[in-house]
C-alpha cells in the first residue's frame, strides 16, 4: 500500500519549509539551540530546510526520493493506518523507504553517540525538512493518485495544475509573505497547544495529515476549477499545519538534545 513512486512536488515550497524551520528555532531550548548551532555552523535551520529537496537531482542521493512522502490507500481507519506504518517489511532501520521510516532513521542517527558530526549534520538536515513534508496533507495522500499528483485541477485559470502541486506551493505563495513574515503571522500557538502538539508522536502527525486529505479530495472532486473560495477555505488549514510542523520539530530537537 505504501508506494515508492517519485513525486515531482516539493512540500510547502521554499517559503513554507523556511517558515517551519524558523518557527522551530523560536521554540528551541537553550541546549537544543546550542547543539543545532554546533552541527550547522554558519548555516541556519531555515537555510538548510530545503537542502533535502535540492540534492534529489544528485545521483548519489537518488534513493532519498521516496523519503519525502507516504502514499497510503484511501479509507483506512487509525488501526489499519498504524499497522501499515509498522509493517516490518517497510520499517527496516537500515533502509528507509518512506517519510516515516526516514524520520525515525534521522532521529536515531542524531541520538547515536557513534555517529560522526558529519553524519549527524546530514540527519539533522533531513529531519528539519521531513517534519515539514509530512505536515503537508497530500504528502500522506492516497496511493491510487500518487498523493494528488494524478488529479488535474485549475488553479487561478491554470489548466495544467494538479492537486498536489497546489498544496505544495500555490497555497503557500498566495498570501505573498516572505518566510519571516509568515513566521510572524503564524507563530501564535498557545501554551496548551504547544504542550499537546509536542506530546503527539509521529504516527499522530501522519494520521492527521491523512485525515485532512478527505475534505481536500472532496473539494477537488466537487469542483476542480478552484475559485476564490479555495484559499479562505483551506488557507487556515495550511497555516495550522505549518505552525504544527514548526512546534513539533522544536519538540523533537529539544528531546534529542536534552542531554
Low-confidence ranges of the chain (pLDDT < 70): 1-10, 88-95
Q: Assess if residue 46 is contained within a domain.
A: yes
Which three-class secondary structure string do you get for the chain? CCECCCCCCCCCHHHHHHHHHHHHHHCCCHHHHHHHHHHHCCCCHHHHCCHHHHHHHCHHHHHHHHHHCCEECCCCCHHHHHHHHCCCCCCCCCCCCCHHHHHHHHHHHHHCCCCCHHHHHHHHHHHHHHHHHHCCHHHHCEHHHCCCCCCEEEECCEEEEEHHHHHHHHHHHCCCCCHHHHHHHHCCCCHHHHHHHHHCCHHHHHHHHHHHHHHHHHHHHHCCEECCCHHHHHHHHHHHHHHHHHHHHHHHHHHHCCC
In this prediction, residue 4 carries a pLDDT of 35
In this prediction, residue 190 carries a pLDDT of 97
Q: Assess if residue 110 is contained within a domain.
A: yes
Q: Assess if residue 22 is contained within a domain.
A: yes
Q: What is the domain-level CATH number for residue 40?
A: 1.10.575.10
- Domain tally for the chain? 1
**Domain limits for position 198:** 13-256
In this prediction, residue 5 carries a pLDDT of 39
Q: What is the pLDDT of residues 151-185, one digit of tens each?
A: 999 988 777 789 999 999 999 999 999 999 999 99
In this prediction, residue 63 carries a pLDDT of 87
Q: Assess if residue 7 is contained within a domain.
A: no
Q: Assess if residue 124 is contained within a domain.
A: yes
Q: Assess if residue 8 is contained within a domain.
A: no
Amino acid at each position: 500500500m505504501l508506494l515508492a513512486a517519485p513525486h515531482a512536488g516539493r512540500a510547502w515550497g521554499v517559503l513554507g519549509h523556511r517558515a517551519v524551520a524558523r518557527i522551530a528555532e523560536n521554540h528551541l531550548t537553550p541546549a537544543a539551540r546550542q547543539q543545532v548551532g554546533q552541527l550547522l555552523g554558519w548555516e541556519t535551520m531555515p537555510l538548510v530546510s530545503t537542502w533535502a529537496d535540492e540534492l534529489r537531482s544528485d545521483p548519489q542521493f537518488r534513493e532519498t526520493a521516496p523519503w519525502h512522502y507516504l502514499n497510503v490507500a484511501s479509507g483506512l481507519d487509525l488501526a489499519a493506518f498504524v499497522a501499515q506504518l509498522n509493517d516490518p517489511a517497510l520499517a527496516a532501520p537500515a533502509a528507509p523507504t518512506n517519510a516515516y521510516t526516514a524520520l525515525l532513521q534521522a532521529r536515531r542517527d542524531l541520538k547515536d553517540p557513534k555517529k560522526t558530526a558529519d553524519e549527524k549534520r546530514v540527519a539533522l538536515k533531513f529531519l528539519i525538512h521531513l517534519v515539514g513534508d509530512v505536515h503537508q496533507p497530500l504528502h500522506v495522500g492516497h496511493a491510487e493518485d500518487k498523493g494528488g499528483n494524478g488529479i488535474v485541477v485549475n488553479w487561478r485559470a491554470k489548466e495544467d495544475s494538479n492537486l498536489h502541486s497546489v498544496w505544495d506551493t500555490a497555497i503557500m505563495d498566495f498570501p505573498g509573505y516572505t518566510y519571516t513574515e509568515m513566521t510572524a503571522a503564524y507563530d501564535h500557538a498557545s501554551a496548551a497547544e504547544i504542550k499537546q502538539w509536542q506530546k503527539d508522536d509521529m504516527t499522530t502527525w501522519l494520521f492527521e495529515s491523512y485525515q485532512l486529505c478527505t475534505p481536500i479530495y472532496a473539494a477537488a472532486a466537487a469542483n476542480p476549477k478552484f475559485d476564490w473560495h479555495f484559499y479562505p477555505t483551506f488557507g487556515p488549514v495550511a497555516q495550522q499545519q505549518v505552525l504544527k510542523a514548526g512546534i513539533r520539530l522544536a519538540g523533537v530537537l529539544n528531546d534529542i538534545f536534552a542531554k
